[in-house]
């Protein structure tokens, strides 16, 4: 009887298990599948990896040589071309018994070495990606992200925009620091855009929009400075090379933004993430080269 009782109990339990409702297979899969799938692209093919290595090696040389040349030309010019950096503040005027604006010179910003600096920043980044960090770089590209790009741009392009600002007549250190910081934030939003969209099938554009909002601010500030100088009664005309720098670099900076739209919009050849990487690399070289030699033509040339 005990044996029969055990068999009865087992049979009874088995029938209960069979009668319990089981969720449909689709429902179980849906519950187990995360909303965002961590999709990793295929590792880079050897040929494409070597192509990117060559690009980084060549860009290391091109940026580095230009930086050395600009630096040599800067020190060859006597006196060296500089732009004053000042600090504005309020002081109490005892005669009028009121606060009045005042200004104090802080230092002279050397234009030529500053141009060489952003070229050297790019050279160092490309050197790291071509040699010490090559494996890390290729792994990141295979996952659809390139952090070094945004780190380098946050520094080098921010130095570029500060140089453009000083050539446009902006000298106040607080304004220059703010321009540097906002431009750096714009590039870091590029990094967060790539991070947020890793593995997503539907692009999240919030980070891109925030970056565009941040990125337009320095150009508005510089544009106001140029228009104020151009419309001041009796003012000397703004040098043509300054207008050329403002327009050409504004266009160049916006091509970076368009490249991200092409990448994440999966448009044409930019469906391939590596096509976007090469576009960024070419545009970085182009923008830095035209700024460097426009500055040379306008300020450093004998």
Q: Which among 250, 174, 257, 171 is positioned nearest to 212, based on CA atoms?
A: 257
7 pLDDT band (50/70/90 cuts)? very low
Judge whether 111 lies within some domain: yes
Q: How far apart are CA 3 and CA 69, in angstroms?
A: 96
Q: Is the pLDDT of residue 40 over 90?
A: no
Which pairs from 60-63 meet CB under 8 Å and 24+ separation? 60/123, 60/126, 60/127, 60/130, 61/123, 62/285, 63/119, 63/120, 63/122, 63/123, 63/126, 63/285, 63/288
CB 153 within 8 A of CB 189: no
* CATH code, 197: 1.20.1070.10
Classify residue 120: in a domain, yes or no: yes
Confidence of residue 302 (pLDDT cuts 50, 70, 90): confident
Residues 255-266: what's their mean pLDDT? 96
Is the CB of residue 157 less than 8 Å from the CB of residue 253? yes
Give the SS3 label for residue 215.
Answer: helix
């992200």: which residue's tokens?
Answer: 145
Query: pLDDT confidence of 102, banded at 50, 70, 90?
Result: very high
Helix (H, G, I), strand (E, B) or coil at 287: helix
Interval 85-97: pLDDT, tens: 999 999 999 999 8
Residue 211 resides in a domain:
yes
DSSP label of 185: H
| pLDDT tops 50 at residue 32 | no
Per residue, the 3-state secondary structure of 111-149, as one string, reads: HHHHHHHHHHHHHHHHHHHHCCCHHHHHHHHHCCCCHHH
pLDDT digits (tens, 9 = 90+) for 144-191: 999 999 999 999 999 999 999 999 999 999 999 999 999 999 999 999
In a domain, 59, yes or no: yes
Domains held by the chain: number = 1
For residue 79, say if its preceding peptide bond is cis, omega within 30 degrees of 0.
yes
More confident residue, 173 or 234: 173
Asked, for residue 288, whether it belongs to a domain, the answer is: yes
Short-list 177, 175, 172, CA closest to 158? 177
Does residue 31 lie in a domain region? Answer: no
| Sequence-separated (6 or more) residues with CB below 8 Å from residue 57 | 126, 130
Q: How far apart are CA 169 and CA 109, in angstroms?
A: 13
Helix 240-264, helix 147-167: angle, nearest 10:
160
Asked if residue 27 belongs to a domain, the reply is no
- Ranges 30-39, 41-50, 85-94, 187-196: which has the least confidence: 30-39
Q: Which domain holds residue 261?
A: 46-300
198 domain-assigned: yes
Instruction: Say whether pLDDT at 281 is over 80.
Output: yes
Per the CB < 8 A criterion, the answer to whether 156 and 118 are in contact is yes
Radius of gyration (C-alpha) of the chain in whole angstroms:
29
| C-alpha distance from residue 43 to each of 88, 111, 194 (Å) | 54, 43, 18
């Amino acid at each position: 009887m005990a044996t029969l009782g055990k068999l009865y109990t087992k049979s009874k339990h088995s029938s209960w298990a069979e009668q319990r409702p089981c969720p449909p297979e689709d429902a179980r899969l849906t519950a187990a599948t995360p909303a965002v799938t961590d999709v990793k692209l295929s590792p880079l093919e050897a040929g494409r990896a070597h192509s990117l290595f060559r690009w980084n090696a060549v860009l290391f040389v091109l940026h580095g040589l230009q930086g050395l040349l600009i630096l040599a030309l800067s020190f060859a010019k006597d006196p060296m071309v500089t732009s004053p950096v000042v600090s504005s503040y309020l002081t109490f005027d005892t005669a009028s018994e009121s606060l009045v604006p005042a200004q104090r010179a802080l230092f002279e910003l050397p234009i030529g070495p500053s141009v060489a600096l952003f070229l050297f920043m790019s050279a160092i980044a490309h050197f790291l990606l071509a040699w010490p960090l090559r494996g890390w770089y290729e792994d990141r590209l295979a996952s659809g992200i390139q952090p070094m790009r945004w780190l380098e741009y946050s520094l080098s392009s921010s130095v570029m925009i500060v140089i453009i600002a000083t050539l446009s007549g902006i000298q106040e250190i607080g304004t220059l620091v703010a321009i540097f910081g906002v431009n750096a934030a714009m590039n870091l939003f590029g990094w967060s855009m790539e991070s947020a969209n890793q593995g997503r099938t539907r692009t999240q554009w919030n980070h891109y929009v925030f970056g565009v909002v941040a990125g337009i601010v320095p150009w508005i500030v510089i544009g106001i400075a140029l228009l104020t100088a151009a419309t001041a009664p009796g003012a000397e005309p703004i040098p043509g090379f300054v207008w050329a720098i403002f327009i050409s670099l504004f266009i160049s900076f916006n091509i970076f933004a368009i490249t991200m739209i092409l990448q994440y919009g999966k448009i044409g050849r930019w469906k391939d993430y590596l096509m976007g990487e090469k576009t960024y690399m070419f545009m970085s070289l182009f923008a830095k080269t035209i700024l460097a030699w426009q500055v040379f033509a306008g300020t450093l040339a004998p």
